[in-house]
Structure formats: structure tokens, C-alpha cells
Amino acid sequence: MASTSTLLIKTTFIILIFVSFTISSATSTVPDECASESANPCVNKAKALPLKIIAIATILVASMIGVGAPLFSRSVPFLRPDGDIFTVVKCFASGIILGTGFMHVLPDSFDMLSSQCLEENPWHKFPFTGFLAMLSGLITLAIDSMATSLYTSKNAVGIIPHGHGHGPANNVTLPTKDDDSTSAQLLRYRVIAMVLELGIIVHSVVIGLSLGATNDTCTIKGLIAALCFHQMFEGMGLGGCILQAEYTNLKKFVMAFFFAVTTPFGIALGIALSTVYRENSPNALITVGLLNACSAGLLIYMALVDLLAAEFMGPKLQGSIKMQLKCLAAALLGCGGMSILAKWA
């Protein structure tokens, strides 16, 4: 179900982006220079292409390392999912996701939808970014709640993790109170992993598309390093959620694969659309700006509600002020790192 939903959302947004960028802007009343290449000395298509190829390879490797590291942490004793170090690392990764929403995606959407290249009415008359981010957060809450209800009703007897439950001699496992509690938590982890992956995929396609379509070599060089760091630690946050969801190995691989290839695929798509895509054209500004606003609302909700709040209000951290301070410091470090990266990406 998670992999099917991921593929459907990804395909929908790719089609939306392609259609929006190939629509002619001839009927637009904005200045002509908004649909033309800027006179930037760093713009060099011949030199930009090799850098984009390097970006695809390096970001793919960084993404694979980030999302894969938590999935293999069970074989490392001090990184086991129920250990203190894993909890601190997960809070750091959650801070990365929160910083991405507030410091990268949301400001980009504000800049794009308030650009002078867009018509005064309606883009300068109404705060579309704030409205869509708010709406996206509420819709994510609804999806989160309804998906949990559907999972719960579908698995009314409960999902019994291996090694739990007690049954008679005929090997029929009967759920206990502890099993019910564990099953409910496992359902939450699965919903969180699914919804978080969808939000990250939308964001990853957009940033990959922007990098692939630009021919500014000065910008690309800075973005490669920044996006490698960003994708690696964002992948750690997602990988931790996938691990706790206890999916089958096949589902873990599919979810990790989609995360790892989405940004490189976005870059490749941007390269293919570079002949019709202009960063400051009205069609590009509106499409990417709206997608960024939706993605920001989803990422901020997931980071605050499903990741950080769930962790801090859980029994493990509530039983230790020292652990709360460690996790708070880790989350602040993650947010701070993404805030610094906002200077380049």
C-alpha cells in the first residue's frame, strides 16, 4: 500500500510539473524579461551538464547512505532502535526535516509566489503560501488520522510483532494487552513512515528539478554539497521511521529506493525540460511555488507532531529529563545545520 501510494503521488506531481512547464507563456502580461535567460556570467550550458551528472551520482550515493544506515542499525549494538543513541540521532534527523520545512521550502515558496514576474492579481493580493501551507498541514492531519483508523479497522485483531503474544498448543496466537499496545504503536509508525515519505518525495522532485534545469554553474557547485548533506540526514530521519514500522524487507527496500532515486530523477527531468523551463517564468514560479507551499506544510506537521512531539511525549523521554535535554540539543543542532545551509540552498 505504501509503495503504491508513493508511486501514484510521484507520478501525479511529475505530470503536473511537466504540463505546467510546457504551457506557452505567450499570453502572459508580465514583462518579457521574466521568461528569458538572465545575463549571468556563470550561466554556461556546456559546463553545467557535467556538473549535473556529478550531482546525480553524488546525491544518489548520499541518499542511499542516509536512508540505509538506520535500516542496518540492528546489527550494531549501540545503534539498536530502543537505545538512547538511536533516539538522539532520530531527534537530530527530525530537526533536519523541520529546518527543511521552515528554512528552505517555505521561504522559497514565499519568494516565488511574490515575484514581480507574476501578475498583481491575484498573486500579490493574497498570501497563497501561508494559506496552502496551513491547508496542507490540516490535510496531512486528516490523512494521518484516517489512515490510522483504516489500518486499525483492517487489522482489528492486531499486528503481533515476532516474539510477542501467547497461544495454545495449536499455535494460534492470541493477543494480550501488551500486544494490543504494541500493535497500536506499530500502526502509528507505519502511517508516519508512509505520510513522511510522500511529503519528502514531493520536496525532492522539486529541488531536483530546479537543479537539473538551471545552467548556473556557480549555483550548481554550491547546491551539490548542500543537497548531499541535506539528503543524507533527511534520509536518516525517514530510514528511522521505516525501521520502526517493521515492514517486510521488500517494502523497506521499495521505500528506501524511492527516496534515494527521487532527487536524481528530478535532476534528470530538469535536464530534459531545460529547453522549455525558465526559473523566473510565470508558469515555473506558480507551479514550484504552490508545490513548495504544500510540501512545507506537510514537512512541518510531520516533524513537529509525528516525530518530535511523539518522541518527547513518549514514556522514554518523559522518564528522563537528561534524555529530553540531549534530544532537544540534537533537534536544535539539526535545525541549526539546515539554517546555515539556507545561505547556499
Q: What percent of the chain has pLDDT over 70?
A: 79
Amino acid (1-letter code) at residue 139: I
Domain that holds residue 305: 52-71+80-117+135-156+178-343
Residue predicted with more confidence, 108 or 345: 108
**Helix, coil or strand: residue 148:** helix
Residue 126 lies in a domain: no
Residue 272 lies in a domain: yes
Radius of gyration of the chain (CA): 22
Mean pLDDT for the chain overall: 80
Does a cis peptide bond (omega within 30 degrees of 0) precede residue 31?
no
How much is the pLDDT for 167? 45
How much is the pLDDT for 145? 86
Residue 6 lies in a domain: no
Mean pLDDT, range 128-154, rounded to an integer: 86
Confidence class for position 55, pLDDT limits 50, 70, 90: very high
Q: At residue 22, does pLDDT exceed 50?
A: no
Confidence class for position 312, pLDDT limits 50, 70, 90: very high
Across 284-321, b (16+ Cβ under 10 Å) vs e yields: bbbbbbbbbbbbbbbbbbbbbebbbebbbeeeebeeee
DSSP per-residue string spanning 51-62:
HHHHHHHHHHHH
Residue 13 lies in a domain: no
Least confident of 219-223, 245-249, 313-317: 219-223
Residue predicted with more confidence, 183 or 54: 54
DSSP per-residue string spanning 231-297:
HHHHHHHHHHHHHHTT--HHHHHHHHHHHHHHHHHHHHHHHHTTTT--TTSHHHHHHHHHHHHHHHH
Residue predicted with more confidence, 283 or 56: 56
Residue 11 lies in a domain: no
Residue predicted with more confidence, 94 or 41: 94
How much is the pLDDT for 292? 86
Mean pLDDT, range 309-320, rounded to an integer: 89
Instruction: Give this prediction's pTM.
Output: 0.73
Residue 4 lies in a domain: no
User: Cα separations (Å) of 87 from 68, 236, 338?
Assistant: 17, 12, 20
How much is the pLDDT for 36? 56
How much is the pLDDT for 25? 42
- Name which of 231, 261, 241 is nearest 303 in CA terms: 241
- d(C-alpha 276, C-alpha 260), whole Å: 26
Q: What percent of the chain has pLDDT over 90?
A: 25
Confidence class for position 15, pLDDT limits 50, 70, 90: low
Residue 187 lies in a domain: yes
Confidence class for position 240, pLDDT limits 50, 70, 90: confident
Q: How many domains does the chain have?
A: 1
Residue 196 lies in a domain: yes
